[in-house]
Structure 1
């Protein structure tokens, strides 16, 4: 397949091609279940056709890069997870009212854990930016419910809990224990994400786990913020790596472990404060989970979880069967992995076969000698997020939603790197993973997909504050537009697919010595279409620090957010230092640079892609955009042929 959608640097992805030019489908016959079993099997067997033969060969050579189903209730390593001892209640025997009450309670527990994190966290990215996730798991390690926070951790959590259980089996756990890990391959893909879990016991019986994951401000490494792309050749340069460990044992803090963590951070107060916030929120979750078991009993709750997982699986599978069987391909490109480096290709083949999906990233570029790699748990998370959004967006999010999906990525590609590859800035990759799934399945689900979004900027910087006489680490989280949809324009200043938030100006200025001098939309930046994309966002920040070490993390400076079904790509983004002065200079999206006191950094995000032919746009919608200042008269004339 020819590389579709690729352009020379600066021009972005191909603009007005029909979706068939960017994603194509090939017929595939029905599948016969293989030896891995019919019980919720997620692994597709080899086929005679060349395309399916490649899947079989890939499975043999990429054992580390295949999702074998541990997160959906399979233990891996030949084990089948078992219900804890006790009288078993059949999922079929649970009445719908009890099921609804238990499901609502589990959702409520997740929200209460999350709201406790937001109210008690020290760092602004958790407190204001909502860069965290929470979930509740049963005693088998299956996700029972997830909170309405970042989807980027859901796949990672599902597999990390199995890694916790391998390191600390049930007979090594007791009430009051709290476990922590941040290993990128075992957890969420980079060191700043501290994944914390607490077992819940009821009547001396393990009945489940509360889990949360918070992005921490700084965990050491070569650059403040621990997310450098440039100058990284392995993860030992990125900060402190923590295997599964008890940070609290039987209610007593592990002072030695906490001292090591604090000593390796540039902002130890924030890190320890956030870590204790995570534990406090899980204490709330543990209390609520015990109350739920006190009300209904362990067997009934377990049966409800079984029923919820089965029903969620059925909903996802039913939606998949509505798609036309076939193999759908798509690819897109990351701008680079540092100043002067080439683009990175992400290629995906999504195979629809009956009620199952096989998603294969064969053809994706090799891992990089930089920080820009995505460990497989993280890649998997945004595949799951995309599939869930397309198939069952309003249904429960639990392990059942993952059962119908098999994910593969070649070991050694930058979406499944070998240890000890860097991965600190892997957040820059997740939007592309999400979007190539949407691009591939656009022909199958045209009403459900969106065009590409603006991407985001997650710059970090460290400096000396001459007023407060202390060092600080600054954190920017800026979100732009969402791609156009079949029936609506894209939204502005929204976080897709991360489900985080733009950090308020007041919070940034109150916590770090910066002044936000400008924050608004960029007119004419949206990709034109029958339904236009969301506008890009511009945010200018003056940093009042000395000896500033600045690390950019942005995308869509070279490859514009693509449009769908004739929609045009959004305008390219850029990052400019000291705009409008004789010291103006443009820096790359992954650049690490030194800045001076009072320098201004202008983050200018790309516009999101449009959906449908711009000539079919309602003229009144164009006039409305003109009145609101979202489109200029020149843009209305050039993109839509509207004379003003």
Structure 2
């Protein structure tokens, strides 16, 4: 599936914007998206959003082009353009009114799995739409087969994964549609957290809209539109300049995901990058077929992370917007793991993002040896859930465990950092306060990095004791079978492990396994 974007021709009478104004204007746009993120974080209810920063924000112009994004998660922000364009096909601008907002969590339209809910709000100046705000949050549960809605093993259809919300107008005149909310909240395990996070998304978009209106009032719409055109054009020109300086050719790389659940075969990850002139194609068609398990990567998610990887490896500080993405085309054959056909399940697709980045990184290492890096310690995203003995209510602990980053050509990899997304390690004190668990150990694992002139970052160890009568753990990780690769002579890092300690016995678990646990097990 190809990503095609028409290049807008500059208007003959386009207004010129001086360099100082352009620089100030660009930083105003970034500040808006960051303030949207701060608002979302501070008013959210769930640990995933409030502490883990599993959300993103973006600004679009009146032509539905991405003009700026917050410094958050690439899988979200890279998926936004598809969401906005799809929304506007169903809800044309002329049908929208001040105070409206649209919502969807569809895997194909959005960022690849149902927990990610997008809220798109048109920004009106009088009766004219001047842009769109987008806030996306990973919601800790949207129903389905298992708490957390990210089960991999045993899921054979997206229908099992929870509530699928095709685009709906969820807010009218600034207020949520009570009927739609009743339908959504009646199908999830922790409705109060979902509702709280949805309101936080509305808050973020409200702030973004007010700030963009201030920009239009201060500069005038003519100057704003001219500045946007110039930023997009300069971003595209710079990206084409960088690609054009690379040698033409085809560069490939292959890696593997452990499996799609216990007892299943590994999943082939194969990328072919073709550079010709000032354009780049990133093709995952050589990868394995889609699987009957909740881990497939829909094309919009594949595109988001592959484009992100190429951009940051070529120029990490280049603005991420519609212009910067135009020279890069991402594709995968239909029915493959990286372009599955609905109803392929994809709840655990978060385990795939790092491999999309690392495959792209591995191929580009052949032409960008000083900018690419060794593979990262694979992060883990376990969910622990059950009925809390203390309250009789459902609890759902969403955790993020980040280890070490791969080494660069000039320094060691960092420890305890989120790879390929800007989420955060959630403080263990927060997790203990909100769920019946006790953390017995948190620290780095000595000698775990891949050795070389510069080593990778150390892996992290986290020991968690269940203090409830019973709880279900749903694991979402990888690299239990093949360690993270080294490049340019560097060695691989150590394997990840997950171990259950029950009655003094150590039981190895697989990277995408689910188990019922009892009190006192670790």
Q: TM-score range by the shorter chain?
A: over 0.9
Matching residue within 221, 236, 239 for 1:313 = 236
Displacement after TM superposition at 1:323 (Å): 1.4
Displacement after TM superposition at 1:319 (Å): 1.3
CA distance in 1 between counterparts of 2:348 and 2:34 reads 28
Aligned equivalent of 1:20? none
CA distance in 2 between counterparts of 1:554 and 1:211 reads 29
CA distance in 2 between counterparts of 1:231 and 1:348 reads 28
Displacement after TM superposition at 1:250 (Å): 1.7
Aligned equivalent of 1:242? 165
Which of structures 1 and 2 has the bigger CA Rg? 1
Report if aligned partners of 1:477, 1:502 keep a CA contact under 8 Å in 2.
yes
CA distance in 2 between counterparts of 1:218 and 1:544 reads 22
CA distance in 2 between counterparts of 1:497 and 1:551 reads 22
Report if aligned partners of 1:411, 1:418 keep a CA contact under 8 Å in 2.
yes
Q: Deviations over 1:213-242 (max 9, x none)?
A: 100010001100000001111111000000
Displacement after TM superposition at 1:161 (Å): 0.6
Displacement after TM superposition at 1:515 (Å): 1.1
Q: Name the SS of the counterpart of 1:329 in structure 2.
A: strand
Report if aligned partners of 1:90, 1:303 keep a CA contact under 8 Å in 2.
no
Q: Name the SS of the counterpart of 2:341 in structure 1.
A: coil
Displacement after TM superposition at 1:92 (Å): 6.0
**1:295-444 mapped onto 2 (5 Å cutoff):** 295-444=218-367
Displacement after TM superposition at 1:247 (Å): 1.2
Q: Name the SS of the counterpart of 1:483 in structure 2.
A: coil
CA distance in 1 between counterparts of 2:15 and 2:223 reads 11
Q: Deviations over 1:38-61 (max 9, x none)?
A: xxxxxxxxxxxxxxxxxxxxxxxx
Aligned equivalent of 1:593? 515
Report if aligned partners of 1:123, 1:274 keep a CA contact under 8 Å in 2.
yes
Q: Name the SS of the counterpart of 1:461 in structure 2.
A: strand
CA distance in 1 between counterparts of 2:182 and 2:131 reads 29
Aligned equivalent of 1:68? 4
**1:159-238 mapped onto 2 (5 Å cutoff):** 159-238=82-161
CA distance in 2 between counterparts of 1:203 and 1:256 reads 29
Matching residue within 496, 501, 505 for 1:583 = 505
Aligned equivalent of 1:97? 20
Q: Name the SS of the counterpart of 1:338 in structure 2.
A: coil
CA distance in 1 between counterparts of 2:126 and 2:148 reads 43
**1:117-136 mapped onto 2 (5 Å cutoff):** 117-136=40-59
Q: Name the SS of the counterpart of 2:268 in structure 1.
A: strand
Displacement after TM superposition at 1:90 (Å): 5.1
Q: Name the SS of the counterpart of 1:491 in structure 2.
A: coil
CA distance in 2 between counterparts of 1:204 and 1:162 reads 21
Report if aligned partners of 2:387, 2:395 keep a CA contact under 8 Å in 1.
yes
CA distance in 1 between counterparts of 2:468 and 2:421 reads 30
Aligned equivalent of 1:273? 196
The alpha-carbon distance between structure 1 residues 577 and 91, as it changes in their structure 2 partners (threshold 3 A), is farther
Confirm or deny that 1:551 pairs with 2:496: no
Q: Name the SS of the counterpart of 2:215 in structure 1.
A: helix
The alpha-carbon distance between structure 1 residues 233 and 288, as it changes in their structure 2 partners (threshold 3 A), is same
CA distance in 2 between counterparts of 1:345 and 1:200 reads 44
Matching residue within 517, 528, 534 for 2:440 = 517
Displacement after TM superposition at 1:101 (Å): 2.0
The alpha-carbon distance between structure 1 residues 91 and 431, as it changes in their structure 2 partners (threshold 3 A), is farther
CA distance in 1 between counterparts of 2:193 and 2:340 reads 30
Report if aligned partners of 2:307, 2:330 keep a CA contact under 8 Å in 1.
no
CA distance in 1 between counterparts of 2:475 and 2:258 reads 13
Confirm or deny that 1:479 pairs with 2:402: yes
Report if aligned partners of 2:295, 2:346 keep a CA contact under 8 Å in 1.
yes
Displacement after TM superposition at 1:130 (Å): 0.7
Q: Name the SS of the counterpart of 1:584 in structure 2.
A: strand
CA distance in 2 between counterparts of 1:93 and 1:161 reads 28
CA distance in 2 between counterparts of 1:431 and 1:90 reads 45
**1:558-637 mapped onto 2 (5 Å cutoff):** 558-578=481-501, 582-600=504-522
Report if aligned partners of 2:258, 2:481 keep a CA contact under 8 Å in 1.
yes
Confirm or deny that 1:287 pairs with 2:210: yes
Report if aligned partners of 1:89, 1:303 keep a CA contact under 8 Å in 2.
no
CA distance in 2 between counterparts of 1:598 and 1:172 reads 57
Report if aligned partners of 1:91, 1:304 keep a CA contact under 8 Å in 2.
no
Q: Name the SS of the counterpart of 2:78 in structure 1.
A: helix
Q: Name the SS of the counterpart of 1:457 in structure 2.
A: coil
Aligned equivalent of 1:507? 430
The alpha-carbon distance between structure 1 residues 598 and 260, as it changes in their structure 2 partners (threshold 3 A), is farther
Aligned equivalent of 2:457? 534
CA distance in 1 between counterparts of 2:304 and 2:32 reads 22
Q: Which runs of 5+ in 1 are unaligned?
A: 1-64, 75-79, 601-644
CA distance in 1 between counterparts of 2:236 and 2:165 reads 34
Aligned equivalent of 1:629? none
Alignment TM-score, normalising by the size of structure 1: 0.79
Q: Name the SS of the counterpart of 2:82 in structure 1.
A: helix
Displacement after TM superposition at 1:388 (Å): 1.1
The alpha-carbon distance between structure 1 residues 231 and 99, as it changes in their structure 2 partners (threshold 3 A), is same
Q: Name the SS of the counterpart of 1:93 in structure 2.
A: coil
Q: Name the SS of the counterpart of 1:463 in structure 2.
A: strand
**1:19-30 mapped onto 2 (5 Å cutoff):** none
Q: Deviations over 1:14-47 (max 9, x none)?
A: xxxxxxxxxxxxxxxxxxxxxxxxxxxxxxxxxx
Aligned equivalent of 1:144? 67
Q: Name the SS of the counterpart of 2:79 in structure 1.
A: helix
The alpha-carbon distance between structure 1 residues 317 and 92, as it changes in their structure 2 partners (threshold 3 A), is farther
CA distance in 2 between counterparts of 1:546 and 1:499 reads 35
Q: Deviations over 1:173-218 (max 9, x none)?
A: 1110111100101111100000111100112111100101100010
Mean CA deviation greater in 531-540 or 317-326: 317-326
Mean CA deviation greater in 565-574 or 512-521: 512-521
Aligned equivalent of 1:36? none
Report if aligned partners of 1:329, 1:349 keep a CA contact under 8 Å in 2.
yes
